[in-house]
Amino acid sequence: MSNLLIRGAELVTPQGISRADVRVENGTTVEVAAGLAPRDGESVIDAGGLHLFPGIIDPQVHFREPGNTHKEDLESGSRAAAAGGVTSFLEMPNTNPPGTTAQMIRDKYALAATKCHVDFGFFIGATPDNLDELNSCPEACGIKIFMGSSTGTLLVSERPDLEKIFGNGRKLIAVHAEDDLMIKQAKEKLGDKATIQDHPFIRSPEAALKATKLAVELSKKYNRRLHILHCTTEEEADYLRAEKVEGLISAEVCPQHFLLTAPECYDTLGVYAIMNPPIREARHGKALWKALVDGVIDCTATDHAPHTREEKEKGFPLAPAGMPGVETLFPLMLDRALGGQCSLSDLVRWMCEGPARLYAMTGKGKVAPGYDADFTLVDLTASRTIRNGHLQTRVNWSPYDGWTLKGAVMKTIVRGRTVFEDGVVLPEGRGWGRALKFDAQWEKI
């Protein structure tokens, strides 16, 4: 791999924007300064007029391998990530079969190294009876607990089982926080009368809040590092504002939960808007955005969960829940920043430094000497229209079909190698992705 010099970029950091050159040697950033001169044998990228972000991180995706590769696999999902400026992802274990043993997670890491365009980490999935496996997989980025049933077979909903997992081990626990009994009772109450508009009431704000409260209670009781996935309610945001413990409890939000609004999205998108937890009314989206801006919510993610159009067209309630998002995460947030609703520096906090810090990723999240040379180069003057049929994800549809966004990703660079450039995912990037490394003391954020 040749060494690299990026010249004349507008470097975006949490502190602001400044003109800088970036020198890369053997995949690592070694120098960041203005006016760096090229060296013999060094490749040069003229980044004049472009803004340089640290590589974007998506800490929650579902790439469907093994078992459902007709929807997505590690290659196609990581290709979509690269096209969206994402240089690292964390993938969930609700595959078929689910990733519930240390050996299964190790096998997935080995497979990903042959297929992925960007860097990767994997969660191990909790069941009521696999505690030994959860605590014998140091490679996993965390333990995923589905407190409420969703797409897949994983579920840990009983308090004694949750107590056992929270009370034994040290690895970060990430929760899908919905109360399973409340969901079942709501389904039974509505029965055959349920319509698509009932989805956010079947999976109610009360069910989300109850599960979140329980997870926070157990986190505090056992001093166990907790990350609350895809918050969706104003009630959760208000609760975390009062009860969150810095360094112990963190949370994330997905763009769809403040960009899409019920009931309108169910009228316009139909079953394509169905996901778990659901899209809700406008008050929730406004509260979630405020919580992100205020630092109550720490980072963004996508919950990228693709299903084919044929599967979605089965209609409610048979259509599986989930929507693709890894390819549109950064473009959507960039458009929001360029629209004046946040700053470019905020995006670095939420999409680069935040996920890297929360999961203690070694060498990720910053453009600085000693860090991996992961970069997302952006043209703020360009624009892009999202179009079904023109996406990298295997299912090739998006809930944002037809949206025109300000700004465009021009290059995605992973450890010094360009994997996406001018609208094309470069084929030589397949297999370039490597396993993320995590600090041995990562639970102490």
Alpha carbon distance 95, 169 (integer Å): 24
Cα distances (Å, whole numbers) of residue 349 to 21, 284, 366:
21, 22, 10
Residue 387 lies in a domain: yes
For residues 45 and 59, membership in a common domain is answered with no
pLDDT band (50, 70, 90) for residue 443: low
Alpha carbon distance 46, 20 (integer Å): 12
pLDDT band (50, 70, 90) for residue 178: very high
Residue 445 lies in a domain: no
CATH classification of the domain holding 421:
2.30.40.10
- pLDDT at 441 exceeding the cut of 60: no
Least confident of 40-44, 230-234, 333-337: 40-44
For residues 279 and 413, membership in a common domain is answered with no
Kindly provide the residue ranges of all beta strands, DSSP E only, lying in 167-307, ordered along the sequence: 173-176, 226-228, 249-253, 299-300
For residues 223 and 293, membership in a common domain is answered with yes
Compute the C-alpha angle 144/374/343, nearest 5°.
85
For residues 123 and 155, membership in a common domain is answered with yes
Mean pLDDT along residues 104-109: 98
Residue 393 near residue 324, CB atoms below 8 Å: yes
Alpha carbon distance 402, 413 (integer Å): 27
Alpha carbon distance 67, 152 (integer Å): 11
Mean pLDDT along residues 331-342: 98
Residue 105 lies in a domain: yes
CB half-sphere exposure, 266, CA atoms < 13 A = 19
pLDDT at res. 33: 97
For residues 11 and 75, membership in a common domain is answered with no
DSSP letters spanning 59-124? EEE---TTT-TTT--HHHHHHHHHHTTEEEEEE-S-SSS---SHHHHHHHHHHHHHH-SSEEEEPE
pLDDT at res. 439: 87
Q: Collapse the DSSP code of 30 into the 3-class scheme (helix H, G, I; strand E, B; otherwise coil) and give the result.
A: strand
Q: How many domains does the chain have?
A: 2
For residues 59 and 131, membership in a common domain is answered with yes
- pLDDT at 42 exceeding the cut of 80: yes
For residues 151 and 278, membership in a common domain is answered with yes
Q: What is the pLDDT of residues 364-392, one digit of tens each?
A: 999 999 999 999 999 999 999 999 999 99
For residues 128 and 114, membership in a common domain is answered with yes
Cα distances (Å, whole numbers) of residue 238 to 147, 220, 433:
20, 18, 38
- pLDDT at 2 exceeding the cut of 80: no
For residues 265 and 398, membership in a common domain is answered with no
Residue 440 lies in a domain: no
Q: What is the pLDDT of residues 225-265, one digit of tens each?
A: 999 999 999 999 999 999 999 999 999 999 999 999 999 99
For residues 379 and 348, membership in a common domain is answered with no
Q: Nearest-CA neighbor of 440 among 352, 362, 358?
A: 362
Q: What is the pLDDT of residues 126-169, one digit of tens each?
A: 999 999 999 999 999 999 999 998 766 799 999 999 999 999 99
Per-residue DSSP letter, 435: B
CATH classification of the domain holding 135:
3.20.20.140
Amino acid at position 39, single letter: R
- pLDDT at 183 exceeding the cut of 70: yes
pLDDT band (50, 70, 90) for residue 288: very high
- pLDDT at 1 exceeding the cut of 70: no
Q: Dig out the tokens for 139 from the structure.
A: 């490679």
Residue 205 lies in a domain: yes
Q: Nearest-CA neighbor of 149 among 276, 243, 38, 273?
A: 276
Compute the C-alpha angle 169/175/176, nearest 5°.
155
Per-residue DSSP letter, 53: E
- The H-or-E segment that residue 348 falls in is helix 344-348
Residue 436 lies in a domain: no
Mean pLDDT over each residue of the chain, to the nearest integer: 96
Of 309, 338, 358, the position where a domain reaches its end is 358
User: 444 Cβ partners below 8 Å, 6+ apart?
Assistant: 247
Residue 441 lies in a domain: no
Per-residue DSSP letter, 38: P
Q: Nearest-CA neighbor of 7 among 39, 34, 40, 41?
A: 34
pLDDT at res. 396: 98
Residue 81 lies in a domain: yes
Of 334, 358, 382, the position where a domain reaches its end is 358
Question: Helix 205-222 crosses helix 180-190 at what angle (to 10 degrees)?
Answer: 170
For residues 31 and 73, membership in a common domain is answered with no
pLDDT at res. 353: 98
For residues 301 and 425, membership in a common domain is answered with no
Mean pLDDT along residues 168-185: 96
pLDDT band (50, 70, 90) for residue 440: low
Mean pLDDT along residues 399-413: 98
Of 338, 358, 378, the position where a domain reaches its end is 358
Query: What is the domain extent for residue 218?
Result: 55-358
Q: Collapse the DSSP code of 440 into the 3-class scheme (helix H, G, I; strand E, B; otherwise coil) and give the result.
A: coil
Please give the share of the chain, as a percent, with pLDDT higher than 70. 98
